[in-house]
Protein backbone atom coordinates (compact mmCIF):
# COMPACT_ATOMS: atom_id res chain seq x y z
CA UNK A 1 0.00 0.00 0.00
CA UNK A 2 1.16 3.59 -0.65
CA UNK A 3 2.17 5.43 2.58
CA UNK A 4 -0.83 7.76 2.35
CA UNK A 5 -3.22 4.80 2.19
CA UNK A 6 -1.48 3.08 5.10
CA UNK A 7 -1.77 6.27 7.15
CA UNK A 8 -5.46 6.62 6.34
CA UNK A 9 -6.11 2.98 7.23
CA UNK A 10 -4.30 3.35 10.53
CA UNK A 11 -6.30 6.49 11.31
CA UNK A 12 -9.59 4.75 10.50
CA UNK A 13 -8.72 1.73 12.64
CA UNK A 14 -7.76 3.90 15.59
CA UNK A 15 -11.04 5.79 15.23
CA UNK A 16 -12.91 2.49 15.15
CA UNK A 17 -11.66 1.67 18.63
CA UNK A 18 -13.69 4.34 20.38
CA UNK A 19 -15.88 6.33 17.99
CA UNK A 20 -19.67 6.34 18.43
CA UNK A 21 -20.17 7.12 14.73
CA UNK A 22 -18.21 5.39 12.01
CA UNK A 23 -18.00 5.11 8.24
CA UNK A 24 -17.30 1.47 7.44
CA UNK A 25 -17.49 2.25 3.73
CA UNK A 26 -14.38 4.41 4.15
CA UNK A 27 -12.68 1.54 5.98
CA UNK A 28 -13.56 -0.81 3.12
CA UNK A 29 -11.93 1.55 0.64
CA UNK A 30 -8.81 2.19 2.73
CA UNK A 31 -8.32 -1.52 3.48
CA UNK A 32 -8.64 -2.33 -0.23
CA UNK A 33 -11.73 -4.46 0.30
CA UNK A 34 -10.80 -6.07 3.61
CA UNK A 35 -12.71 -4.06 6.25
CA UNK A 36 -13.75 -7.00 8.42
CA UNK A 37 -10.43 -8.83 8.61
CA UNK A 38 -8.49 -5.60 9.16
CA UNK A 39 -10.83 -4.44 11.91
CA UNK A 40 -11.14 -7.80 13.68
CA UNK A 41 -7.37 -8.29 13.83
CA UNK A 42 -6.85 -4.70 14.96
CA UNK A 43 -9.43 -4.89 17.76
CA UNK A 44 -8.12 -8.21 19.06
CA UNK A 45 -4.58 -6.82 19.09
CA UNK A 46 -5.35 -3.28 20.32
CA UNK A 47 -7.56 -4.54 23.16
CA UNK A 48 -4.88 -6.90 24.43
CA UNK A 49 -7.09 -9.95 23.89
CA UNK A 50 -4.57 -11.58 21.56
CA UNK A 51 -1.88 -11.38 24.25
CA UNK A 52 -4.15 -12.34 27.14
CA UNK A 53 -5.45 -15.48 25.43
CA UNK A 54 -2.22 -16.27 23.58
CA UNK A 55 -3.84 -16.10 20.16
CA UNK A 56 -1.32 -16.93 17.44
CA UNK A 57 -0.97 -13.80 15.31
CA UNK A 58 -0.62 -15.63 11.99
CA UNK A 59 -3.56 -17.92 12.71
CA UNK A 60 -5.66 -14.97 13.86
CA UNK A 61 -4.92 -13.12 10.63
CA UNK A 62 -5.71 -16.25 8.60
CA UNK A 63 -8.96 -16.78 10.50
CA UNK A 64 -10.00 -13.15 10.03
CA UNK A 65 -9.44 -13.38 6.26
CA UNK A 66 -11.30 -16.70 6.03
CA UNK A 67 -14.20 -15.29 8.04
CA UNK A 68 -14.36 -12.26 5.78
CA UNK A 69 -14.23 -14.45 2.67
CA UNK A 70 -17.30 -16.27 3.98
CA UNK A 71 -19.44 -13.17 3.48
CA UNK A 72 -21.19 -13.07 0.13
CA UNK A 73 -21.38 -10.03 -2.11
CA UNK A 74 -24.87 -8.97 -1.02
CA UNK A 75 -25.98 -5.34 -1.21
CA UNK A 76 -26.45 -5.10 2.58
CA UNK A 77 -25.54 -8.30 4.45
CA UNK A 78 -21.90 -8.28 3.42
CA UNK A 79 -18.45 -7.91 4.97
CA UNK A 80 -18.82 -4.15 5.28
CA UNK A 81 -21.98 -4.60 7.35
CA UNK A 82 -20.17 -7.18 9.49
CA UNK A 83 -17.32 -4.73 10.08
CA UNK A 84 -19.82 -2.01 10.95
CA UNK A 85 -21.59 -4.21 13.49
CA UNK A 86 -18.27 -5.34 14.97
CA UNK A 87 -17.11 -1.74 15.38
CA UNK A 88 -20.34 -0.63 17.04
CA UNK A 89 -20.42 -3.65 19.33
CA UNK A 90 -16.88 -3.03 20.53
CA UNK A 91 -17.69 0.58 21.39
CA UNK A 92 -21.04 -0.30 23.00
CA UNK A 93 -19.34 -2.85 25.24
CA UNK A 94 -16.17 -0.96 26.13
CA UNK A 95 -17.50 2.60 26.29
CA UNK A 96 -21.14 1.87 27.03
CA UNK A 97 -20.52 0.51 30.49
CA UNK A 98 -20.77 -3.25 29.94
CA UNK A 99 -17.09 -3.91 30.64
CA UNK A 100 -16.24 -5.45 33.02
CA UNK A 101 -19.56 -6.20 34.78
CA UNK A 102 -21.27 -7.82 31.82
CA UNK A 103 -18.20 -8.67 29.77
CA UNK A 104 -15.00 -9.98 31.30
CA UNK A 105 -12.10 -10.52 28.86
CA UNK A 106 -13.25 -13.99 27.79
CA UNK A 107 -16.78 -12.73 27.23
CA UNK A 108 -15.50 -9.73 25.31
CA UNK A 109 -13.55 -12.07 23.02
CA UNK A 110 -16.69 -14.16 22.46
CA UNK A 111 -18.73 -11.03 21.74
CA UNK A 112 -16.28 -9.74 19.15
CA UNK A 113 -16.27 -13.09 17.37
CA UNK A 114 -20.09 -13.13 17.47
CA UNK A 115 -20.26 -9.63 16.02
CA UNK A 116 -17.82 -10.48 13.24
CA UNK A 117 -19.61 -13.73 12.33
CA UNK A 118 -23.23 -12.79 13.01
CA UNK A 119 -24.22 -12.83 9.30
CA UNK A 120 -21.61 -15.27 7.98
CA UNK A 121 -22.60 -16.62 4.54
CA UNK A 122 -25.84 -14.61 4.59
CA UNK A 123 -27.81 -15.30 1.39
CA UNK A 124 -29.46 -11.88 1.23
CA UNK A 125 -32.82 -13.59 1.85
CA UNK A 126 -35.03 -13.46 4.93
CA UNK A 127 -35.87 -16.47 7.05
CA UNK A 128 -39.49 -16.19 5.91
CA UNK A 129 -38.38 -16.58 2.31
CA UNK A 130 -36.14 -19.54 3.14
CA UNK A 131 -39.06 -21.25 4.87
CA UNK A 132 -41.62 -20.40 2.18
CA UNK A 133 -39.42 -21.81 -0.59
CA UNK A 134 -38.35 -24.88 1.44
CA UNK A 135 -34.75 -23.83 1.11
CA UNK A 136 -32.22 -26.50 2.19
CA UNK A 137 -31.34 -24.41 5.26
CA UNK A 138 -34.99 -24.27 6.31
CA UNK A 139 -35.25 -28.04 5.90
CA UNK A 140 -32.00 -28.59 7.78
CA UNK A 141 -33.05 -26.47 10.76
CA UNK A 142 -36.77 -27.29 10.73
CA UNK A 143 -37.79 -23.73 9.86
CA UNK A 144 -36.32 -22.35 13.11
CA UNK A 145 -34.00 -19.39 12.48
CA UNK A 146 -32.34 -21.12 9.52
CA UNK A 147 -30.07 -18.18 8.66
CA UNK A 148 -28.80 -17.68 12.21
CA UNK A 149 -28.27 -21.39 12.72
CA UNK A 150 -26.25 -21.46 9.50
CA UNK A 151 -24.10 -18.49 10.57
CA UNK A 152 -23.27 -20.32 13.80
CA UNK A 153 -22.62 -23.71 12.24
CA UNK A 154 -20.33 -22.16 9.65
CA UNK A 155 -18.36 -20.26 12.30
CA UNK A 156 -17.88 -23.28 14.55
CA UNK A 157 -16.92 -25.44 11.58
CA UNK A 158 -14.24 -22.93 10.66
CA UNK A 159 -12.88 -22.93 14.21
CA UNK A 160 -12.44 -26.71 13.96
CA UNK A 161 -10.20 -26.44 10.91
CA UNK A 162 -6.59 -27.00 12.05
CA UNK A 163 -5.32 -23.93 10.20
CA UNK A 164 -8.06 -21.69 11.68
CA UNK A 165 -8.42 -23.17 15.18
CA UNK A 166 -7.23 -20.08 17.06
CA UNK A 167 -9.15 -21.10 20.21
CA UNK A 168 -8.10 -24.77 20.31
CA UNK A 169 -5.43 -24.20 22.95
CA UNK A 170 -7.87 -22.71 25.46
CA UNK A 171 -9.22 -24.90 28.28
CA UNK A 172 -12.43 -26.69 27.34
CA UNK A 173 -14.34 -24.85 30.05
CA UNK A 174 -13.43 -21.52 28.48
CA UNK A 175 -14.24 -22.72 24.98
CA UNK A 176 -17.60 -24.03 26.16
CA UNK A 177 -18.39 -20.71 27.82
CA UNK A 178 -17.51 -18.81 24.65
CA UNK A 179 -19.59 -21.16 22.52
CA UNK A 180 -22.66 -20.60 24.69
CA UNK A 181 -22.28 -16.81 24.54
CA UNK A 182 -21.78 -16.78 20.77
CA UNK A 183 -24.83 -19.00 20.22
CA UNK A 184 -27.06 -16.86 22.43
CA UNK A 185 -25.93 -13.62 20.80
CA UNK A 186 -26.21 -14.66 17.18
CA UNK A 187 -29.54 -16.45 17.64
CA UNK A 188 -30.82 -13.24 19.21
CA UNK A 189 -30.27 -11.34 15.96
CA UNK A 190 -33.21 -13.12 14.32
CA UNK A 191 -35.75 -10.29 13.99
CA UNK A 192 -38.51 -12.80 14.75
CA UNK A 193 -37.15 -12.72 18.30
CA UNK A 194 -36.86 -8.94 18.45
CA UNK A 195 -39.91 -8.05 20.50
CA UNK A 196 -39.55 -11.10 22.75
CA UNK A 197 -35.99 -10.11 23.64
CA UNK A 198 -36.70 -6.39 24.00
CA UNK A 199 -39.78 -7.07 26.14
CA UNK A 200 -37.74 -9.37 28.39
CA UNK A 201 -35.08 -6.69 28.70
CA UNK A 202 -37.67 -4.03 29.57
CA UNK A 203 -39.39 -6.27 32.11
CA UNK A 204 -36.11 -7.25 33.74
CA UNK A 205 -35.14 -3.61 34.25
CA UNK A 206 -38.71 -2.44 35.00
CA UNK A 207 -38.84 -0.10 32.05
CA UNK A 208 -42.14 1.16 30.63
CA UNK A 209 -43.71 -1.18 28.09
CA UNK A 210 -45.53 1.63 26.25
CA UNK A 211 -43.87 3.90 23.73
CA UNK A 212 -42.28 6.96 25.29
CA UNK A 213 -43.05 10.37 23.68
CA UNK A 214 -40.13 11.89 21.78
CA UNK A 215 -40.22 15.00 23.95
CA UNK A 216 -39.61 12.91 27.05
CA UNK A 217 -36.87 10.93 25.34
CA UNK A 218 -35.07 14.17 24.50
CA UNK A 219 -35.38 15.37 28.10
CA UNK A 220 -34.13 12.07 29.48
CA UNK A 221 -31.14 12.04 27.14
CA UNK A 222 -30.18 15.57 28.14
CA UNK A 223 -30.36 14.57 31.79
CA UNK A 224 -28.27 11.46 31.20
CA UNK A 225 -25.72 13.35 29.09
CA UNK A 226 -25.27 16.01 31.81
CA UNK A 227 -24.31 13.29 34.28
CA UNK A 228 -21.68 11.69 32.04
CA UNK A 229 -18.12 12.92 32.48
CA UNK A 230 -16.35 12.89 29.09
CA UNK A 231 -13.17 11.53 30.65
CA UNK A 232 -14.90 8.69 32.48
CA UNK A 233 -13.56 5.28 31.55
CA UNK A 234 -15.02 3.08 34.27
CA UNK A 235 -18.53 1.72 34.43
CA UNK A 236 -21.14 2.81 36.94
CA UNK A 237 -23.45 -0.01 35.84
CA UNK A 238 -24.17 -2.70 38.40
CA UNK A 239 -23.07 -6.18 37.44
CA UNK A 240 -25.93 -8.53 36.51
CA UNK A 241 -27.26 -10.71 39.29
CA UNK A 242 -27.34 -13.92 37.26
CA UNK A 243 -26.23 -15.46 33.97
CA UNK A 244 -29.65 -15.08 32.32
CA UNK A 245 -29.72 -11.30 32.81
CA UNK A 246 -26.08 -11.02 31.74
CA UNK A 247 -26.69 -12.87 28.47
CA UNK A 248 -29.83 -10.83 27.86
CA UNK A 249 -27.86 -7.62 28.21
CA UNK A 250 -25.24 -8.89 25.77
CA UNK A 251 -27.93 -10.02 23.32
CA UNK A 252 -29.40 -6.55 23.31
CA UNK A 253 -25.92 -5.06 22.87
CA UNK A 254 -25.46 -7.07 19.67
CA UNK A 255 -28.98 -6.20 18.51
CA UNK A 256 -28.17 -2.52 19.10
CA UNK A 257 -25.03 -2.96 17.03
CA UNK A 258 -26.84 -4.87 14.27
CA UNK A 259 -29.16 -1.87 13.94
CA UNK A 260 -26.30 0.54 14.53
CA UNK A 261 -26.53 2.14 11.09
CA UNK A 262 -29.63 3.91 12.43
CA UNK A 263 -27.27 5.87 14.70
CA UNK A 264 -24.66 6.78 12.08
CA UNK A 265 -24.46 10.20 10.47
CA UNK A 266 -27.30 10.91 8.08
CA UNK A 267 -25.06 10.55 5.01
CA UNK A 268 -23.69 7.15 6.07
CA UNK A 269 -27.14 6.03 7.18
CA UNK A 270 -28.59 6.83 3.75
CA UNK A 271 -26.03 4.55 2.11
CA UNK A 272 -27.02 1.69 4.40
CA UNK A 273 -30.73 2.26 3.85
CA UNK A 274 -30.25 2.30 0.08
CA UNK A 275 -28.25 -0.94 0.27
CA UNK A 276 -30.96 -2.62 2.36
CA UNK A 277 -33.62 -1.48 -0.08
CA UNK A 278 -31.66 -2.97 -2.98
CA UNK A 279 -31.42 -6.29 -1.15
CA UNK A 280 -35.12 -6.23 -0.30
CA UNK A 281 -36.10 -5.49 -3.89
CA UNK A 282 -33.92 -8.37 -5.11
CA UNK A 283 -35.83 -10.75 -2.83
CA UNK A 284 -39.12 -9.26 -4.00
CA UNK A 285 -38.13 -10.06 -7.57
CA UNK A 286 -37.54 -13.69 -6.58
CA UNK A 287 -40.87 -13.81 -4.77
CA UNK A 288 -42.66 -12.59 -7.90
CA UNK A 289 -40.82 -15.12 -10.05
CA UNK A 290 -41.82 -17.92 -7.66
CA UNK A 291 -45.46 -16.82 -7.56
CA UNK A 292 -45.24 -15.94 -3.87
CA UNK A 293 -46.81 -12.91 -2.17
CA UNK A 294 -44.29 -10.09 -2.18
CA UNK A 295 -43.10 -9.25 1.33
CA UNK A 296 -43.55 -5.79 2.80
CA UNK A 297 -41.10 -3.19 1.43
CA UNK A 298 -39.78 -5.66 -1.16
CA UNK A 299 -41.87 -4.72 -4.19
CA UNK A 300 -39.76 -2.39 -6.34
CA UNK A 301 -42.95 -1.03 -7.89
CA UNK A 302 -43.99 0.39 -4.52
CA UNK A 303 -42.30 2.62 -1.90
CA UNK A 304 -39.46 0.67 -0.27
CA UNK A 305 -37.35 0.77 2.86
CA UNK A 306 -35.89 4.14 1.91
CA UNK A 307 -39.27 5.88 1.79
CA UNK A 308 -39.95 8.49 4.46
CA UNK A 309 -42.96 6.57 5.80
CA UNK A 310 -40.91 3.40 6.19
CA UNK A 311 -38.07 5.23 7.88
CA UNK A 312 -40.35 7.00 10.34
CA UNK A 313 -41.99 3.68 11.19
CA UNK A 314 -38.62 2.01 11.64
CA UNK A 315 -37.36 4.65 14.04
CA UNK A 316 -40.64 5.06 15.91
CA UNK A 317 -41.37 1.39 16.54
CA UNK A 318 -38.00 -0.39 16.41
CA UNK A 319 -34.81 1.67 16.61
CA UNK A 320 -35.65 4.44 19.07
CA UNK A 321 -37.49 2.26 21.63
CA UNK A 322 -34.58 -0.20 21.61
CA UNK A 323 -31.87 2.46 21.88
CA UNK A 324 -33.81 4.36 24.54
CA UNK A 325 -34.31 1.39 26.85
CA UNK A 326 -30.70 0.31 26.40
CA UNK A 327 -29.49 3.79 27.35
CA UNK A 328 -31.74 3.83 30.41
CA UNK A 329 -29.91 0.75 31.67
CA UNK A 330 -26.46 1.70 30.31
CA UNK A 331 -26.36 5.53 30.47
CA UNK A 332 -22.78 5.66 29.17
CA UNK A 333 -24.22 4.61 25.80
CA UNK A 334 -26.06 7.95 25.58
CA UNK A 335 -24.06 9.13 22.51
CA UNK A 336 -25.55 6.25 20.51
CA UNK A 337 -29.07 7.35 21.38
CA UNK A 338 -28.31 10.99 20.67
CA UNK A 339 -26.86 10.10 17.28
CA UNK A 340 -29.95 8.03 16.42
CA UNK A 341 -32.21 10.94 17.34
CA UNK A 342 -30.14 13.34 15.24
CA UNK A 343 -30.37 11.08 12.19
CA UNK A 344 -34.06 10.48 12.80
CA UNK A 345 -34.72 14.24 12.69
CA UNK A 346 -33.12 14.43 9.22
CA UNK A 347 -35.20 11.64 7.70
* 81 marked as part of a ligand binding site: yes
Q: Average pLDDT of 166-194?
A: 98
User: What is the pLDDT at residue 228?
Assistant: 61
Q: Flag whether pLDDT at 307 surpasses 80.
A: yes
* 311 marked as part of a ligand binding site: yes
User: Whole-prediction pTM value?
Assistant: 0.95
Among the residue ranges 13-22, 154-163, 168-177, 238-247, the one predicted with the least confidence is 238-247
* 258 marked as part of a ligand binding site: yes
User: What is the pLDDT at residue 139?
Assistant: 98
User: What is the pLDDT at residue 221?
Assistant: 80
User: What is the pLDDT at residue 291?
Assistant: 97
- State how far the alpha carbon of 197 is from the alpha carbons of 8, 102, 146, in Å: 39, 17, 18
What is the CATH number for 44? 1.10.1300.10
User: What is the pLDDT at residue 219?
Assistant: 80
Over residues 103-114, the pLDDT tens digits come to 999 999 999 999
Q: Average pLDDT of 271-291?
A: 98
DSSP string, 117-175: HTTTT--S--HHHHHHTT-HHHHHTTTSSHHHHHHHHHHHHHHTSTTT-TTTTS-HHHH
Phi-psi region of 32 (alpha: psi -120 to 50; beta: other; left: phi over 0): left
Q: Where residue 213 falls among pLDDT bands split at 50, 70, 90?
A: confident
194 given a catalytic annotation: no
Q: Average pLDDT of 203-218?
A: 82
> What domain range is 52 assigned to?
4-346
Q: Flag whether pLDDT at 231 surpasses 60.
A: no
Q: Average pLDDT of 10-16?
A: 98
Count of structural domains, the chain = 1
* 142 marked as part of a ligand binding site: no
Q: Average pLDDT of 52-58?
A: 98
* 242 marked as part of a ligand binding site: no
Q: Where residue 65 falls among pLDDT bands split at 50, 70, 90?
A: very high
User: What is the pLDDT at residue 236?
Assistant: 61
Question: Residues 10, 34, 45, 77: which is the catalytic one?
Answer: 77
Residue 233: alpha-carbon gap to chain centroid: 23
Torsion of CA 240, 244, 250, 255, to 10 degrees: -130
User: What is the pLDDT at residue 235?
Assistant: 56
Q: Average pLDDT of 277-285?
A: 98
Amino acid sequence: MPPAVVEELHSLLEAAYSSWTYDSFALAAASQGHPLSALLYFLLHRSGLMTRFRLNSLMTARFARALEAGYQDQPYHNKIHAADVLQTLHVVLTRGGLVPGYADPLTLLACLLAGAAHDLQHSGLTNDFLVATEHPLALLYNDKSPAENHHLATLFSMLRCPELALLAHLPKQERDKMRKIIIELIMGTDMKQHFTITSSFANLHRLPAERVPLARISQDMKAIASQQHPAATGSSVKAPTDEVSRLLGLQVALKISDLGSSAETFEVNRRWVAALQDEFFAQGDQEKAAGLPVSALMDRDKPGAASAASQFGWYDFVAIPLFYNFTRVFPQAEPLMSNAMATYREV
